[in-house]
A and B are shown apart, each in its own frame.
Chain A
Amino acid sequence: MLLKNINEWILLFIIIGVISLVGNFVGYNIMSLNAIAGISVLIIISLISLVLNKVVPVNFPTIGYVSIIAVLISTPWTPGSDLILSWTNEVELLALATPVLAYAGISIGRSWTDFLKIGWKSIVVASVVMIGTFIGSAIIAEIILNIQGII
């Protein structure tokens, strides 16, 4: 079962990888062996995380594993992190976000009819909710960073 899953994941990651690399080229003019190596590293991290999520009998999310592995292999204290980063630096962050949001849009289409039902008051409140959290966090961050003398 797990092997069948891994097989499926690899095929899907190849598709996502190719789409991302083409986006990376169209949007940022980067097409290099390093970029291919970079996306491969990212896919391997994702694969390991998906497997860990299935195998480890603890309820810990895949994206948690991804974040921990990615942070650990790229700290300044990790041997070899420079090499890995020289590859992944040629894969632009936003080029990786575009396919996510294209799939998200296709998925969001299903919620469109629900959205039409929520009414203008909810839309006003939702807008203030998002602006509120953004400005609230920014103000506190600004104050503490100032106190710490970082900015």
Chain B
Amino acid sequence: MSNETIFGLWKDWRLHAVVFLIVIISEAIGTFSFSLGPGVIMILPIIYAIVFGIMMYFTPFINKKQSKKADTLILLSVTVFLGKIGLTVGPALPDIIAAGPALLLQEIGNLGTILFALPVAVWLGLKRESIGMTHSVAREPNVGLIMDKYGMGSPEGRGVMSIYIFGTVFGAVFMGLIAGLIASMTPLHPLSFAMASGIGSGTMMAAASGSLIELYPALENDIAAFAGASNLLSLSTGLYVSIFIGLPLTEKLYKLMTNKRNKTPEIPVQKKSVK
């Protein structure tokens, strides 16, 4: 990551003032929660902060240049945030080591993306895009993997990019909303959901574990520690799980699912080309 162009960034008082105001307003509103059927939906200050941030981009206060400067500030503020997570993981290290097997194996649960989402994508009529879309949660390393393997303009590349864009814009909001909802609706233990919150994106983890903490305040430290540890594992192992298991599995399942469907239409197409 290049830090060469950031000089003088601190002087952009308008950008900092906007963020300062967003933070004060978001924190002042506080968490807003309401029931939805058997579950609870929670809207945390961090979710207002994203939404206000996006809205500010479309006002004269923030221009494109400042939006690019924000990238550097995300990098710096996220290091502070991850430092705090690290300081939560440290004291819980004995517990985390004890739960090591669960932590390691739940990484495989990230393959749940394939089992749940690939059938949906194929059913919606998506072709090879669905491989790029569903082989992982499509964060930066996975976009790199797909581009490397299939190329920029390939259907797989387009697929992974569309999920990446959705994740970038809505990932944290979405995870914040569904983490609270799913956790309040299902009987699974909060610690299992804490581990599930670490999917390799700092902002999504913050939103998901934040909702869990609001739901189970007594378990705050454990939730943050397990989410943080799981996120670290996802960051360091996620790409390898995708290379060796995720992507080959998606390819296989895709072939299996489309062979049955396409057997009949494929034959006429071949005849045409022979003629």
Contact = CB atoms under 8 A, between A and B. Distances in A.
Contacts of B113: 129-130, 132-133, 136
Contact of B84 (A9, A54, A78, A93): A93
Interface in A102-145: 102-112, 114-115, 118-119, 121-142, 144-145
B206 interface: yes
A135 B99 CA distance: 18
A132 B117 contact: yes
A91 B84 contact: yes
Interface string A77-97: 010010011001001011111
A109 B56 contact: yes
A92 B197 CA distance: 18
Interface string B93-111: 1100011011101111111
Contact of A129 (B54, B74, B163): B163
A8 B22 contact: no
Given A16-B80, A20-B80, A74-B87, A94 B174 contact: no
Given A121-B126, A124-B124, A46 B76 contact: yes
A8 B73 CA distance: 11
B141 to A, nearest CB: 11
B107 A124 contact: no
Contact of B70 (A19, A96, A106, A115): A106
A85 B30 CA distance: 25
A103 B70 contact: yes
B46 interface: yes
B232 to A, nearest CB: 6
A148 to B, nearest CB: 6
A33 B171 CA distance: 35
Nearest to A13: B76
Interface string B211-236: 00100000010001000101010011
Contacts of B112: 132-137, 139
Contacts of B109: 133, 136-141
Interface residues of B, number: 131
B84 A134 contact: no
Contact of A101 (B53, B197, B235): B53
A88 B84 contact: yes
Contact of B179 (A26, A121, A132, A134): A134
A25 B161 CA distance: 39
A45 B196 CA distance: 27
Interface stretch (B33-41, B57-65, B251-259, B262-270): B57-65
Interface in A1-33: 4-5, 8-9, 11-13, 15-17, 19-20, 22-23, 26-28
A145 B10 CA distance: 46
Contact of A134 (B126, B159, B165, B196): B196
B248 interface: no
A131 B106 contact: no
A132 B105 CA distance: 16
Contacts of B6: 8, 12
B89 to A, nearest CB: 5
Contacts of B235: 63-64
B167 A126 contact: yes
A124 B133 CA distance: 11
30 contacts: A20-B80, A26-B27, A27-B27, A42-B83, A69-B83, A70-B83, A74-B89, A76-B91, A76-B93, A93-B206, A95-B27, A99-B49, A100-B203, A102-B53, A103-B73, A106-B54, A118-B162, A118-B166, A121-B126, A125-B124, A129-B113, A136-B112, A138-B106, A139-B109, A139-B192, A140-B108, A140-B109, A141-B103, A141-B191, A150-B98
Given A19-B23, A111-B168, 17 more contacts: A12-B76, A27-B28, A45-B79, A62-B75, A71-B86, A99-B19, A100-B81, A104-B203, A110-B57, A125-B133, A126-B133, A130-B178, A131-B116, A133-B112, A139-B192, A142-B188, A145-B191
